[in-house]
Structure 1
Amino acid sequence: MLAGARLVLPTGIVENGVLAVERDRIAAAGPAGPAAVPGALDLAGRTVVPGFVDIHVHGGGGASYASGVAEEALKAARTHLQHGTTTTMASTVTGEIDEVCRQAAVLSELVEDGVLAGIHFEGPFISRQRCGAHRPDLLRDPDPAVVRRLVEAARGTARMLTLAPELPGGLESVRLLADLGVIAAVGHTDADHATVLQAIDAGATVATHLFNAMPAIHHREPGPIVALLEDERVTVELVNDGVHLHPSVLELALTAAGTSRVALITDAMGAAGMGDGLYPLGPLQVRVEEGVARLVEGGSIAGSTLTLDVAFKRAVTVTGLSLDDAVQTLSGNPAALLGLSDEIGSLEAGKRADLVVLDSDTLDLVAVMRRGEWVVGADRLTPARVG
C-alpha cells in the first residue's frame, strides 16, 4: 500500500492518494480513507505516475539491441527500466537482411520472456536522401517479400516497421504490414505530401521521430510533416531531448496533433545512461560529446542519450505540459498504440502495477515498480506512521 502520494489518474490528479498493489496488479487507486493503513509506505511529497512506455529505443547502458546478443539486450532494457521505462520496444538499425533476421530471432525470445514488448524494425527500407545514422550502402527498397521475411523472423513479436513509402514497393508493404497486424511507420522519407497521404490510407499509423530525417515544411510543398500532423489516424513520435527539436517546433507539433496523438520517445542508443565516448550503432560508430550522439563519419545526429524520466521532467518543466498530458504522451498514448491499454498506461485497478515515483517538487525519479516489484528506490521509501 502506498499512501500520501499525489496520484496522476485518468480521472485527474488526486492529492494525498492511496494506491494498493496485490501481486502484480493495482488493486485500487484513489483518495485516502479516514485513517492511515498499517504497513503502508509514506509517499508524502511524492508523485506517482504510470510506468513509461518507449516505442522507439535502440539501446542503453553501453549495450545495443542491434548487437544480436541477448545479454546486451537485457542490459539495455534494464538500463531504461532504472529510469522508469517499464514497457520497452527494441528498435533495430539498418543491416544485412540475414543479420537483422538473426537479431530478431534473439530479441523475440526476450519478448516471449516478458522483458520486451516487441520489435521495431527501423531500416533498411528507408530513403538514401534521409538515411541519418543508417549505412547508405545497406539500404534497399521495401520489397514486400523481404518485409514479410523480417516479420516472420520475429516469430510473432514484430510490432512496428519504419519505411519510406515513396520507394518502390512502399505502399504495397504498408498494406502488407497492416494485414499482418504490424504497425507501419513513415520515417526516414523523402516522400511528398500526397504520397504520405496514400501511405496513411494504406494503413500507416505512426510518424517515426517527426521532423527528423524528412523534408522540412515548405509553403507550396508541405511534404510529409504536414500530412502526418493533420491526419487523426497517425501517432507522431517526438524526441524531447533539447537536441532533436527546437522547443518552438515541439510546441507546434503538440498544438497541431494534440497530446492525444503524441508519443514522446527516446530514440536512445547505447550511450543512454552512460558518459561521453565512442559507441557502436549497428555497423556504424557514434561519438557522444556533452550527451549529444553523432556519427563519427559525417556528423549526423545518431539517436539520443535520453531516458524517459528526463523526457517526462522536460515535458513538464520545459515544454509546459500538465502532469496529465505528460502522462498521456509518455504512457497512455504509446500503450494504446501497442494495443496494451487494458494492461498498462494508466493507474487503474486491474492494470499491471507498473509505476514511477517522482519527487513532487523536482520531478526527479525516486523509485520504480514493475509488475508489483520494486526495481529502483525501495530503500528511499519509509513506512507511514499509524496512530
Structure 2
Amino acid sequence: MTARTINGRDAGRGDVLTVHYNGGYITAVERKHDPNASDLPVLAPGFVDAQVNGYLGMDVNGPDADSTVIEGITEELARIGVTAWVPTVITASEEAINHALRCVEKARNADARVRDAIPSVHVEGPFISDRDGARGVHDASEVRPIDPEEVRRWAAISRIGVVTVSPHWTDAPKGIQEICSMGIRVSIGHTHATAAEVLSAIDAGATLSTHLGNGIAAMIPRHPNAIWTQLADDRVNCGLIADGHHLPPETLEVMLRAKGPRGAFLVSDTTAIAGKQPGRYQTPVGGSVDLDEHGRLSYVGTELLAGAAASLPDGLRNVVRSTSAGLGQALKLVTENPARTLPGARQGLGTLQPGAPADMVLVSDSGAVLEVIRSSPTLENVGR
C-alpha cells in the first residue's frame, strides 16, 4: 500500500500536524508552529460512538436484522466520520439478544473493515429497572435480575465489551463482580437504584454510566440521588447524549465540568430513524414515533422522547455551540475518551500517534466534518 500524508491543524494548540500513514496505520506524526495555521481545517482521529442501536433505517435490534445490517451501518457511519462504533443490543429475550450478537459476529468475521470498526458489543439490559420512566422503551416483560451466567453465554457468541445494569437488584454487587471478572465493563443505567445502591455497584467494579441523566425517573429525590453519586465519583466515566434534546445545555455544561477532561464521553444512542427526513415512522421498539425538523424523536401525540436521531457528529457540534468546551476538548469527547472505555479497542484508537489506526477526519472550527480518511483502503477519502 502506498504511503500517504495529510496535514491539518491541532484543535488544542493550533500547531500544524503532518500525519504519515501506511497499511492502515499511522507511521509518524510531525508538529510545527505556523502563524498561518488558522487557514487549515482541524485534523482529528476518527470518531468513536460507544452506543449505536441503528442508523438510516438499519436496526441492530430489528427482528429482520442480519450481518448486512451491521455491515451497512459500518459503511454509513464511516461516511460521516464515525470510524469505530459499538452495536448496542437492548433488553429482549435471550434468544433475540443471541440473534443480534450472531449478526454482529458474522459481520465481523466476514469483513476486516467491520472487525476493525467494531471492537465489541454493548448489551443495554435486560438487567435494568422494570419501572416506568427509568425503564425507557425497554420491554418490561423481558426485564430480569442480573445473571452472570447469561452474560457468559452471550460472550460465547460475540465479544461483549459493556453490559448496562441497574444496581437495585438483590445481590447486584456480587453479579457485577462476576461480570467484571470476565473482562467486561459494567455500566449503570436505566435505574431506580438509590444513591447507596449505586455506590455499592461502583465499589463492586461498575465504571461507566449509560447516557447519564436519562433512563431515570422524571421525579427523584433532590439529594442524594443516583445522578449526583455517579457525577461525584471519579471511578465512573459517563456517557452523555448531546443531541440538544436529552440533556438541556446547562445540564450538559455542569456534567462536563463535574467529570473533567477525561471523565465523560459523548454517545449518539441513535435508533434506525437517525439520518432520515422528518416524519412519522413505525419502529420495532416503541411503535409509532415522530421525527421533527429539529431532530427530536418523540412518541406520537406526546412530548416523550423515543430515542435519539442525531448522529455523534451532531452531538459534537452541539457541544461546541452550546457549552464552554472548546473544539479541542469537544473532540476528545468523541475520540480518545470513548475509545478508552471499550474492551477490544485497537491500540491507539481515538488518537493521532504512531501505531494508531489511520482513521482521521478533517473538521471545521464549528465541528462540522469536512473529509474522512479511513484506514481501510476501500473507504479512504470517502468525504461526506
TM-score when scaled to structure 2?
0.87
Alpha-carbon separation, structure 2, partners of 1:25 and 1:33: 25
Which residue of 343, 348, 368 corresponds with 1:343?
A: 348
Q: What does residue 276 of structure 2 align with?
A: 274
Alpha-carbon separation, structure 2, partners of 1:285 and 1:70: 26
Q: What does residue 185 of structure 1 align with?
A: 187
Q: Deviations over 1:123-161 (max 9, x none)?
A: 22111221111122222222333333333332xx11111
Q: What does residue 29 of structure 2 align with?
A: 29
Amino acid at match of 1:71: T
Q: Does 1:48 align with 2:51?
A: no
CA RMSD of aligned residues (A): 2.6
Structure 2 contact 17–43 (Cα < 8 Å) conserved: no
Equivalent position SS for 1:259: coil
Amino acid at match of 2:174: E
Equivalent position SS for 2:87: strand
Structure 1 contact 125–142 (Cα < 8 Å) conserved: yes
Q: What does residue 135 of structure 1 align with?
A: 139
Structure 2 contact 137–286 (Cα < 8 Å) conserved: no
* Cα distance, 1:359–1:283 mapped onto 2, change above 3 Å: closer
Q: Deviations over 1:142-200 (max 9, x none)?
A: 2333333333332xx11111111112353232111101111111100000000000001
Alpha-carbon separation, structure 2, partners of 1:299 and 1:101: 33
Structure 2 contact 87–121 (Cα < 8 Å) conserved: yes
TM-superposed deviation, 1:46? 1.4
Q: Deviations over 1:2-30 (max 9, x none)?
A: 4552134xxx5343332211121112223
Counterparts of residues 291-370 of structure 1 (less than 5 Å):
291-296=295-300, 300-339=304-343, 340=345, 342-360=347-365, 362-370=366-374
TM-superposed deviation, 1:317? 2.3
Q: What does residue 384 of structure 1 align with?
A: none
Alpha-carbon separation, structure 1, partners of 2:311 and 2:248: 18
Q: Does 1:218 align with 2:215?
A: no
Which residue of 249, 259, 262 corresponds with 2:261?
A: 259
Q: Does 1:79 align with 2:76?
A: yes
Q: What does residue 197 of structure 1 align with?
A: 199
Structure 2 contact 374–381 (Cα < 8 Å) conserved: no
Alpha-carbon separation, structure 2, partners of 1:223 and 1:111: 40
Greater mean alpha carbon deviation, residues 170-179 or residues 57-66: 170-179
TM-superposed deviation, 1:83? 1.4
Alpha-carbon separation, structure 1, partners of 2:301 and 2:358: 44
Greater mean alpha carbon deviation, residues 202-211 or residues 117-126: 117-126
Q: What does residue 246 of structure 1 align with?
A: 248
Q: Deviations over 1:218-259 (max 9, x none)?
A: 34x421111111111111011001000011111111111112
Structure 2 contact 374–380 (Cα < 8 Å) conserved: no
Alpha-carbon separation, structure 1, partners of 2:308 and 2:58: 14
Q: Deviations over 1:356-384 (max 9, x none)?
A: 11134x4321111121547375579xxxx
Q: What does residue 8 of structure 2 align with?
A: 5
Alpha-carbon separation, structure 2, partners of 1:164 and 1:33: 49
Q: Deviations over 1:319-357 (max 9, x none)?
A: 231222112211111111115373311111221101111
Which residue of 169, 174, 177 corresponds with 1:175?
A: 177
Structure 1 contact 144–172 (Cα < 8 Å) conserved: no
Q: Does 1:65 align with 2:86?
A: no
Unaligned runs of 5+ in 1: 35-41, 381-387
* Cα distance, 1:71–1:21 mapped onto 2, change above 3 Å: same
Greater mean alpha carbon deviation, residues 16-25 or residues 263-272: 16-25
Structure 1 contact 247–319 (Cα < 8 Å) conserved: yes
**Percent identity of paired positions between Structure 1 and Structure 2:** 27
TM-superposed deviation, 1:267? 0.5
Q: What does residue 233 of structure 2 align with?
A: 231
Unaligned runs of 5+ in 2: none
Alpha-carbon separation, structure 1, partners of 2:92 and 2:300: 18
Structure 1 contact 369–375 (Cα < 8 Å) conserved: yes
Equivalent position SS for 2:271: coil
Alpha-carbon separation, structure 2, partners of 1:262 and 1:377: 29
Structure 1 contact 352–372 (Cα < 8 Å) conserved: no
Greater mean alpha carbon deviation, residues 260-269 or residues 20-29: 20-29
Q: What does residue 383 of structure 1 align with?
A: none
Structure 1 contact 57–269 (Cα < 8 Å) conserved: yes
Equivalent position SS for 2:156: helix
Q: Does 1:97 align with 2:94?
A: yes
Alpha-carbon separation, structure 2, partners of 1:367 and 1:192: 45
* Cα distance, 1:162–1:378 mapped onto 2, change above 3 Å: closer
Amino acid at match of 2:126: P
Structure 1 contact 84–356 (Cα < 8 Å) conserved: yes
Equivalent position SS for 2:51: coil
